[in-house]
């Protein structure tokens, strides 16, 4: 079963169809149509990622095929080619939704580069369409119940001005939650200012937050407002607040109580209007008990506590995020794999991800750069993932399954049964995609996405 993306080539010259098939044979599964009517008929039955179509053909031309493609498969990326290139037809094609325009005769490598870019765009469209239904908060994606519960809580907290504290392991996406709080608040049109308390030396952090006046310390040659003043009317995000020095914790407590700040070297106080959002990967309650974090500041922060689950507890979010990160790589450059092999997905799901989402993103970026095939395989993933056992014949499958969460196990089962289900439905529908989608109880475009995802070809069942 081919896992290559599918490209439909439409031209009324057989030698051109053979040439394009030869150029793209390593990059795509190429379908062909020798006239516009045949292409439109095929588009109504088969899911494709890219259409490469001649403009001038007998009876039904390329613009008619473009119009039909946008109607039947709006997610497909359309590229026109013609020996009759004119500005007028190019503009018309772009207005109708064409992605690019290729003039004959063309260099084979130029055509391949255009198609690879189009395939990258198609992968991005697919990921975006899938992510649209998995968007829990602005910039936050997931399917796991723990994330849905967190999103509901963020939705309730965001409209208020309550101080919020985001807790979670390093790399889980605490800043994304903070940005979502800001985006959903009445302050969204004003600034969101983020500060990493662990990254700035403690002697400089106070000046960074509260500002200073000229002569306050050596090197202070002019008055300078701090980030609290810069964010007036907006939100200040203090990341890794657990690393803040005790003396500065006391001053921050006063800011939260009085809603005013005092620049270094200045006697008067300045009113501020900001919402504070803090975050840390540390156990603040234990730090309070141990005397390393001020109890009064903890009480000020403990108004709206949002706990972000580690990635290992988020089940199917691993695959969702991995596909999204791969689509982001496709947006940056042309030659990027269009998916993951089943074995690679098994490994991604089984790995415990101690570095959480940040580690997953880095792993996908690395694999996208190193992979030489059409999909990312196990050998393309980082060594720390490859050394993690997914299935060891000497241990037996039950021993490996016992290391997985319920969500990881059901995800693995879904990927095993999904291709067989799609094949069965297509067989019953005699290869008719519209009828198969109706049997499956989903929209035709969603059915097309499933076919692309699992590498199932409808024409094999007619």
CB atoms closer than 10 angstroms to residue 138: 15
pLDDT of residue 207: 86
CA angle 204, 208, 212 (to 5 degrees): 90
pLDDT band at 75; cut points 50, 70, 90: confident
**204: its two tokens:** 């400089």
Confirm if 371 and 362 have CB atoms less than 8 A apart.
Answer: no
Positive/negative CA dihedral, 286, 291, 294, 295: positive
pLDDT of residue 405: 65
Cβ-count burial of 133 within 10 angstroms (0-12 exposed, 13-18 middle, 19+ buried)? exposed
Between 214 and 125, whose confidence is greater?
Answer: 214
pLDDT of residue 52: 94
**174: its two tokens:** 């605490």
Tell me whether strands 77-82 and 100-103 are parallel, antiparallel or unpaired. parallel
pLDDT of residue 109: 86
Positive/negative CA dihedral, 102, 107, 110, 114: positive
Q: Please, what are the domains in the chain?
A: 6-133 (3.40.50.2300), 145-308 (3.40.50.300), 313-461 (1.10.8.60)
Cα–Cα distance between 110 and 11 in angstroms, integer?
18
Q: What is the mean pLDDT of residues 160-164?
A: 93
Confirm if 429 and 392 have CB atoms less than 8 A apart.
Answer: no
Q: What is the mean pLDDT of residues 40-50?
A: 89
pLDDT band at 242; cut points 50, 70, 90: very high
Nearest to 52 by CA among 86, 23, 26, 95: 23
The pLDDT of residue 2 is above 90: no
Between 415 and 293, whose confidence is greater?
Answer: 293
**Percentage of residues of the chain with pLDDT beyond 90:** 40
Taking phi over 0 as left and psi of -120 to 50 as alpha, with beta for the rest, 18 belongs to alpha
pLDDT of residue 283: 92
pLDDT of residue 393: 39
pLDDT band at 395; cut points 50, 70, 90: very low
CA–CA distances in Å: residue 179 to residues 141, 164, 192: 13, 12, 7
The pLDDT of residue 46 is above 90: no
Between 415 and 110, whose confidence is greater?
Answer: 110
Q: How many residues does the chain have?
A: 462
**Percentage of residues of the chain with pLDDT beyond 70:** 89
Cβ-count burial of 243 within 10 angstroms (0-12 exposed, 13-18 middle, 19+ buried)? middle
Q: What's this model's pTM, rounded to 2 decimal places?
A: 0.63
DSSP bridge partners of 307: 167
What does the mean pLDDT of the chain come to? 85
DSSP structure string for 354-379: TTHHHHHHHHHHHHHHH--SSSB-GG
Confirm if 322 and 364 have CB atoms less than 8 A apart.
Answer: yes
Q: How far is CA 191 from the centre of its chain?
A: 24
CA–CA distances in Å: residue 323 to residues 65, 77, 150, 300: 30, 19, 22, 39
- Say if residue 105 is preceded by a cis peptide, omega within 30 of 0: yes
- Around 179, how many Cα atoms within 13 Å sit in the side-chain half-sphere? 11
The pLDDT of residue 394 is above 50: no
Nearest to 433 by CA among 57, 27, 47, 26: 47
Helix (H, G, I), strand (E, B) or coil at 177: helix
Cα–Cα distance between 376 and 391 in angstroms, integer?
19
The pLDDT of residue 404 is above 80: no
The pLDDT of residue 266 is above 50: yes
The pLDDT of residue 379 is above 70: yes
The pLDDT of residue 391 is above 60: no
DSSP state of 309: P
pLDDT band at 295; cut points 50, 70, 90: very high
The pLDDT of residue 149 is above 80: yes
The pLDDT of residue 184 is above 90: yes
pLDDT of residue 397: 46
Q: How far is CA 14 from the centre of its chain?
A: 40
pLDDT band at 62; cut points 50, 70, 90: confident
Cβ-count burial of 397 within 10 angstroms (0-12 exposed, 13-18 middle, 19+ buried)? exposed
Nearest to 419 by CA among 450, 445, 375: 450
The pLDDT of residue 407 is above 70: no
The pLDDT of residue 132 is above 70: no
The pLDDT of residue 409 is above 90: no
Nearest to 284 by CA among 274, 269, 299: 299
The pLDDT of residue 446 is above 70: yes
The pLDDT of residue 96 is above 90: no
> For the chain, how far is it from start to end, CA to CA, in angstroms?
16
DSSP helix, strand, coil percent of the chain (3-state; round to 5): 50, 15, 35
Tokens 């980082």 -> residue: 382
Q: What is the mean pLDDT of residues 168-197?
A: 95
pLDDT of residue 1: 43
């Amino acid at each position: 079963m081919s896992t290559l993306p599918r490209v439909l080539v439409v031209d009324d010259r057989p030698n051109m169809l053979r040439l394009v098939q030869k150029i793209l044979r390593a990059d795509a599964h190429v379908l062909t149509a020798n006239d516009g009517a045949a292409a439109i008929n095929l588009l109504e039955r088969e899911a494709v990622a890219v259409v490469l179509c001649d403009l001038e053909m007998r009876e039904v031309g390329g613009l008619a095929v473009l119009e039909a493609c946008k109607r039947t498969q709006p997610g497909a990326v359309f590229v026109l080619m013609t020996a009759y290139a004119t500005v007028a037809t190019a503009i018309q094609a772009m207005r109708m939704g064409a992605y690019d325009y290729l003039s004959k005769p063309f260099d084979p490598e130029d055509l391949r580069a255009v198609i690879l870019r189009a395939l990258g765009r198609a992968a991005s469209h697919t990921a975006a369409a899938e992510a649209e239904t998995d968007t829990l908060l602005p910039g936050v994606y997931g399917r796991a119940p723990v994330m849905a519960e967190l999103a509901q809580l963020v939705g309730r907290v965001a409209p208020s001005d309550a101080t919020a504290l985001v807790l979670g392991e390093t790399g889980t996406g605490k800043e994304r939650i903070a940005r979502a709080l800001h985006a959903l608040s009445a302050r969204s049109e004003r600034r969101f200012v983020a500060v990493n308390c662990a990254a700035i030396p403690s002697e400089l952090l106070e000046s960074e937050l509260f500002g200073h006046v000229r002569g306050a310390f050596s090197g202070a040659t002019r008055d300078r407002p701090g980030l609290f003043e810069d964010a007036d009317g907006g939100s200040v995000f203090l990341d890794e607040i657990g690393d803040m020095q005790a003396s500065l914790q006391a001053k921050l407590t006063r800011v939260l109580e009085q809603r005013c700040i005092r620049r270094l070297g200045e006697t008067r106080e300045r009113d501020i209007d900001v919402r504070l959002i803090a975050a840390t990967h540390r156990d603040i309650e234990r730090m309070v008990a141990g005397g390393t974090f001020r109890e009064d500041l903890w009480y000020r922060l403990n108004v709206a506590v949002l706990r972000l689950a580690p990635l290992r507890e988020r089940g199917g979010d691993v695959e969702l995020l991995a596909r999204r990160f791969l689509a982001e790589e496709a947006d940056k450059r042309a030659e990027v794999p269009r998916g993951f092999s089943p074995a690679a997905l098994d490994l991604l799901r089984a790995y415990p991800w101690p570095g959480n989402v940040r580690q997953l993103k880095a792993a996908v970026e690395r694999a996208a750069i190193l992979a030489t095939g059409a999909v990312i395989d196990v050998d393309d993933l980082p060594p720390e993932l490859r050394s993690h056992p997914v299935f060891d014949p000497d241990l037996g499958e039950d021993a490996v399954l016992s290391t997985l969460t319920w969500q990881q196990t059901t995800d693995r089962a879904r990927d095993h049964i999904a291709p067989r289900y799609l094949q069965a439905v297509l067989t019953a529908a005699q290869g008719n995609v519209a009828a198969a989608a109706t049997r499956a109880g989903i929209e035709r475009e969603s059915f097309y996405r499933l076919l692309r995802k699992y590498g199932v070809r409808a024409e094999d069942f007619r």
